[in-house]
Structure 1
Amino acid sequence: MTSSSSPGIMATGLTKRYGDRTVVDDLTFTVGPGTVTGFLGPNGAGKSTTMRMLLGLDAPTRGRATIGGRPYAAHPAPLQEVGALLEARSVHPGRSAHDHLLALAHTHGIPRRRVDEVLELTGLSGVARRRVKGFSLGMGQRLGIAAALLGDPGTVILDEPVNGLDPEGVLWIRDLLKSLAAEGRTVFVSSHLMSEMALTADHLVVIGGGRLLADTSVTDFVRASGQDFVTVVTPQAARLRELLAAPGVEIASSGSAAAGARASAEAPAETLEIRGTDAAHIGRTAAAHSVPLFELTPRIASLEQAFMALTRDAVEYRTSTALEGAMA
C-alpha cells in the first residue's frame, strides 16, 4: 500500500439532537496522522452517531466535522481519501466478494488490480468468487475492511473491526492498523475490547453521554485514572503512614497479613494499598528510616480499569448490585 498524506480528522462543537434528546453534545477533538486513535465509550455514548457525522451520513444539529481539511461530501474522490467500515453486512448477498469490490472500484475510478490486492491483503483471495450470503461474520468483517482500503486512503475509520474475528484475525487487524499508522495515515477505530485497544491504540478519544471525557495518550489515560497503587506489607504501618504523608498520597489498610511468618515480634504485619506515589519512593523512604518491608509490589491499572472508573457515571445500562452479588 502506498502512503497517502492526511491532515487528519477534526470535530468542532459537534452536536446531534433528535427532538429533545441530545445524543452528541458539543464534541471537539482532533485525530492526527501517524497514530492509531481508539474511540471509546459505553453503549449509548454517541460513538456510532459521531462516526456517521464524520462521514456525512448524519447531519449535525450544530458544529462541523472535516476529514483531510474538508467535509467528507466535499472530497471529489471520497473513497480514495477516506476508507470506512461502519456496517460490514451492507453488501448485496448475491454478489461475490470480488464483484462487490469490483463494482466499487469501477464507480470510483480505482484500477481493477487494486481489487486483487485488497483481497490478498485481507485473506479473502481463496473465497473471492463465493457469494457473500455464505460468508461467516468474520469473513464479512474482512470484506468490509477490504472495501475500506480499496481506494488506498489516507484516513481509515473503522467501527468495531474485530467483531467476529478469530484470534488470528484479531492479531492480523492489530498489525494492519499499526502498519497503516506507521505509513502516516490517520487511523480512527472504535472498540469495546479494552484489552485489544491497550495493545493497538496510541491515543484515545473517550466519550460518555455524548460528551468528551478524555482526549489523551493511552499511557496518560491509565495514569490519570488513579487506579494504580502499590501493595506494601510492613509491621510498622503507622510509622510508614507518617513518613509518606503528603498531598495526593492516599494510604488504605487491607488488614493484617495472613501469613504468620510475616509477623514480627513487635506487631503483626499490616497490608497497605498506597496511591499517589511509586514503589521506588516508598522503598527509599522505608530504607532511610529502617522500616522493614515484607512486600513492595506495584499494581499497574489496566486500560479496562481506567475506562470503567472514568465512565462509571455514563453507563446507559447498569447491572444491579443484587445481580452482581448473585453471579459472583
Structure 2
Amino acid sequence: MIEARNLTKRYGEKLAVDELTFTVRPGLVTGFLGPNGAGKSTTMRMILGLDTPTSGSVLVNGRPYRAHPAPLHEVGALLEARSIHPGRTAFHHLLALARTNGIRRSRVDDVIEAVGLSDVARRRAGRFSLGMGQRLGIATALLGDPRTIVLDEPLNGLDTEGIRWVRALLQSLAAEGRTVFVSSHLMNEMALTAQHLIVVGKGRLIADTGMAEFLRAHARSVVRVRTAEPHALITHLTGPDIEVSFEPDEALTVSGLTTDQIGKAAGAAGITLLELTAQHSSLEDAFIDLTGDAVEYRAATVGAPS
C-alpha cells in the first residue's frame, strides 16, 4: 500500500506537487494520470525516496521507503529504463542487484525469462532497443518479488505484443494482492488495464476514483442517428441541453438525449430511422475534458500548410 498525506514538493518558485493526499491499495491496478508537468514523476520520486518532500509524507507498506531494511523486497520500481550501465549485460546488471540485496541467483534467470529477454541476456544493455530496455527495467522491478510495484511509463517503446504482455502482467500482479501503481500517456491502454485512477493536474489532485465511476462521471454519451430525413428529424430534437451535428456520411450525432427519447420523437413524427446507436466517449476524451484547465504546456493551433 502507498499512502500519501499532504505531499508537497517545491523547487524554488516552482510548486511541483501541491498537498497531494491519496492511497494506492493492494489488489488493484491503479493508473496515475495527468498532463505533462502535472507532477507525476516528482510524486513517484518522492514515493521512492529519491526526492525529499518539502512537506507532507508518503509511506510504502507502512514505512517511508528509506526506512525499509530490504527495500527491493518491498518495492519494485521503473522510473527510467535507460538508467543502466550500457557496458553491462542484462544478466550481470540483474545479478549485481541480486547479490547486493540478498536475492538468490536463480531469481535472475526467472525474471529474465518472465520478461522475454532470455535470448539477449548476455548482450550489453547499451545495444538494447527502447522496448528491450523497458523489459529489462520491468525485470529489475520484479527482481525482489516485491509487494508494491511502481512503474512510470512502462509501455514506451513496446510493440503490440509487448503492450499486451505488460497489461496481463500488471493485472496478474494485482490479482496476487500486490499494490500496482502505473503511469502512462496511452489512455486507451490504461482503460483496459487499470481498475482505479488517480488524476493530477498542476500538482493537485483532480480525481481519485474507480475507472467505471470516472467514466460515468466524466465521459460524454452521444447517439449516432441515420435517417433519410435528417433535417426533418432535427426539428423534433430541440432543447437547451441538446446538441445535434452532422457527420461526414450525413448521419447525425446527438448529445443530450437517449436512444429511447430519439426513437420516440422519430416515431411520433413518422420518420424512419436507419440507425440508432449509443456511443460513449473514451477515457482519453474524458481525461482531456477533465484536465483541460490543468494543462501547463499547450501547443498553439497550427493551420494546414498552404
TM-score (norm 2): 0.90
Partner of 1:278: 258
Secondary structure at the counterpart of residue 326 of structure 1: coil
**Aligned positions of 1:70-81 closer than 5 A:** 70-81=63-74
The reply to whether residue 156 of structure 1 matches residue 149 of structure 2 is yes
The reply to whether residue 137 of structure 1 matches residue 117 of structure 2 is no
Secondary structure at the counterpart of residue 132 of structure 2: helix
The more displaced of 99-108 and 219-228 is 219-228
The reply to whether residue 168 of structure 1 matches residue 161 of structure 2 is yes
The reply to whether residue 311 of structure 1 matches residue 304 of structure 2 is no
Aligned residues between the structures? 301
Q: Summarize deviations over 1:32-57 as a string: whole Å, max 9, x none.
A: 11111111111111000000001111
Contact 2:219 / 2:285 at 8 angstroms: preserved in 1?
no
Q: Distance in 2 between matches of 1:298 and 1:50?
A: 38
**How big is the shift at 1:10?**
1.0
Alignment match of 2:114 (pick from 121, 133, 140):
121
Secondary structure at the counterpart of residue 22 of structure 1: strand
Q: Percent identity?
A: 62
1:257/1:168 CA distance change after superposition, 3 Å: closer
Alignment match of 2:17 (pick from 3, 7, 24):
24
**How big is the shift at 1:227?**
2.1
Q: Distance in 2 between matches of 1:272 and 1:54?
A: 45
Unaligned runs of 5+ in 1: 1-7, 260-269
Secondary structure at the counterpart of residue 184 of structure 1: coil
1:327/1:106 CA distance change after superposition, 3 Å: farther
1:253 partner amino acid: V
Structure index of larger Rg: 1
Q: Distance in 2 between matches of 1:9 and 1:282?
A: 47
Task: Please tell me the root mean square deviation across aligned C-alpha atoms, in Å.
Answer: 2.4
Contact 1:236 / 1:291 at 8 angstroms: preserved in 2?
no
Q: Summarize deviations over 1:211-242 as a string: whole Å, max 9, x none.
A: 1111112222222225222234663545454x
1:22/1:145 CA distance change after superposition, 3 Å: same
TM-score (norm 1): 0.85
Alignment match of 2:89 (pick from 68, 73, 96):
96
Unaligned runs of 5+ in 2: none
Partner of 1:52: 45
Contact 2:219 / 2:283 at 8 angstroms: preserved in 1?
no
The reply to whether residue 250 of structure 1 matches residue 238 of structure 2 is no
**How big is the shift at 1:165?**
1.2
Secondary structure at the counterpart of residue 100 of structure 1: helix
Contact 1:231 / 1:274 at 8 angstroms: preserved in 2?
no
The reply to whether residue 212 of structure 1 matches residue 205 of structure 2 is yes
**How big is the shift at 1:30?**
1.0
